[in-house]
Chains A and B, each alone.
Chain A
Amino acid sequence: MTTVPFRMPSLGADMEEGKLVEWMIEPGQHVAHGDIVAVVETVKGAVEIEVFEDAEVKRLLVALGETVEVGTPIAELDVEGAPEPEAAPAAERPAPAAERPAPAPAAPPAAAPTAAAPAAAARVSPAARAAARERGVDLSAVTGSGPGGAIVLGDVEAAVAEARPEVSPLEALRQAIGQSMARSKREIPHYYLAHHIDVTPATEWLAATNEGREPDRRLLLGALFVKAVAVAARANPNLNGHYEGAFKPSEAVHVGVAVALRGGGLTAPAIHDADTLDLDETMARMRDLIGRARAGRLRASEMADPTITVTSLGDRGVEAMTAVIMPPQVAIVAFGTPLVRPFVHDGAVVPRTVVSVTLSADHRVSDGRLGSRFLSAVEASLAKPEEL
């Protein structure tokens, strides 16, 4: 039996810390892979944290109401046959920030311009330096609390907190979105491809399918969009995965679905293995996911796992949208509102329901040719909805 730390997970590039609001476990309790062990409040609402191994809970390290950075050990688990932990021995407090894994947002490429360059001579942890660059903190004005006066991540966070006034949850959410999107636009060389797709076959098939169904079994066009993107992502792996120093294509297709939150802001949790689901399953997952996103009961894996994202303006928006990639993903697909347009069909201009689809993709990983093939695959799927 080996004691291993259970850490505050990163639930997306825009998460730096989480507040422990509920423990679902207690010392001595056995937990199994997939069990929900805690609820953490983030700027995007409460998130259920899962454990990914069978273990016995040894100790809880973080009290309710305490806010800790991503990567901080929040509990200790006794695991059968696990390797020795790299962190501090179980009896010690959590490792200082400088020794913790850097949170996801704090990893710009080494060649990026360094706003914190004047303080380069001071002892500064890599995570603190990255965070300072990310958030525009002048390190020469920060007092270090680490060994020998070194500036650690917590010092930068404290400087940021001191500098900013109290903000409302919505303002905090908007700031988090802003930071994440700014990082995306700064680091990811986006390219964009747009296409108009005749979705008349899909809408007609949908109407016929839904006609005899009770409301709770009806499908929405959005479910077809998600499945069509999942199928296209499966066929084009360079648009499906994560870029963290280098691109790692994902063997699974976990489609993030952008969900508008009441009161403002959005989140994009994953529908896992979306390429393997039929449309009824896809719709059921979307319904569940959207409901829990708005109720603030998403799970950590749903926040962290998307390998490609779909965002849609629904049936009441405008014609087209161009989206910003959500790091560390490398592609996002934006659907405008389906509109009845004059369209050439079978050699004649006739009214057809047309949707604008825009792919935003990462030029470090793919180019327009592959992106074009991807959108063509989406179009082909939507032309034959009965096969999705």
Chain B
Amino acid sequence: MTRDEAMAVLAEEYGAIAPDVDFAEVDPKGDVREAFEIDSMDFLNLVTALSKRLGIAIPEADYPELTTLDDAATYLAAKG
């Protein structure tokens, strides 16, 4: 999976959780939890969705790799 493909997946999954936030307006280097105004349950649901959709393991220890969109795209591209 390329980074662009990973970013497209992130756009869809964040859109499902935070439909009121314009993904294109989010700073790719900013904290996603703040940008999308999501709590720990939302974040767990996001990880669940990404894991199932992409068939990859995302252990809790890797959560810091998902802090920003840039980091997350890089992480998912490497995993996929």
Contact = CB atoms under 8 A, between A and B. Distances in A.
A binds B: yes
Interface of A: 207, 210-211, 214-216, 218, 220-222, 260, 262-263, 286-287, 290-291, 314-316
Given A215-B48, A222-B40, A262 B20 contact: yes
A215 B51 contact: yes
By Cβ-Cβ distance, the 6 closest A-B pairs, closest first, are: A215-B48, A215-B47, A216-B48, A314-B39, A215-B51, A290-B41
22 contacts: A207-B60, A210-B60, A211-B59, A211-B60, A214-B48, A214-B51, A215-B51, A215-B58, A216-B48, A220-B40, A220-B41, A220-B44, A221-B40, A222-B40, A262-B20, A263-B20, A286-B41, A314-B40, A315-B40, A316-B33, A316-B34, A316-B40
B76 to A, nearest CB: 14
B53 to A, nearest CB: 11
B37 interface: yes
Contacts, number: 39
Nearest to B33: A316
Size class of B's contact patch?
10 to 19
B27 to A, nearest CB: 17
A287 B59 CA distance: 19
Q: Tell me the interface secondary structure of chain A in the complex.
A: helix
Contacts of A222: 40-41
B18 interface: yes
A275 B40 CA distance: 23
Interface of B: 18, 20, 33-34, 37, 39-41, 44-45, 47-48, 51-52, 58-60
B39 A316 contact: yes
Most chain-A CB neighbours within 10 Å: which of B33, B40, B41, B51? B41
A215 B33 contact: no
Nearest to A315: B40
A291 B33 CA distance: 17
A200 B48 CA distance: 25
B61 to A, nearest CB: 8
Given A290-B41, A314-B40, A315-B40, 7 more contacts: A211-B59, A216-B48, A216-B52, A220-B40, A220-B44, A286-B41, A316-B39
Nearest to B19: A262
B55 to A, nearest CB: 11
B18 A262 contact: yes
A291 B44 CA distance: 12
A362 B18 CA distance: 37
A314 B39 CA distance: 7
Given A210-B60, A260-B39, A314-B39, A218 B44 contact: yes
Contacts of B33: 316
Nearest to B59: A211
Most chain-A CB neighbours within 10 Å: which of B20, B39, B45, B52? B39
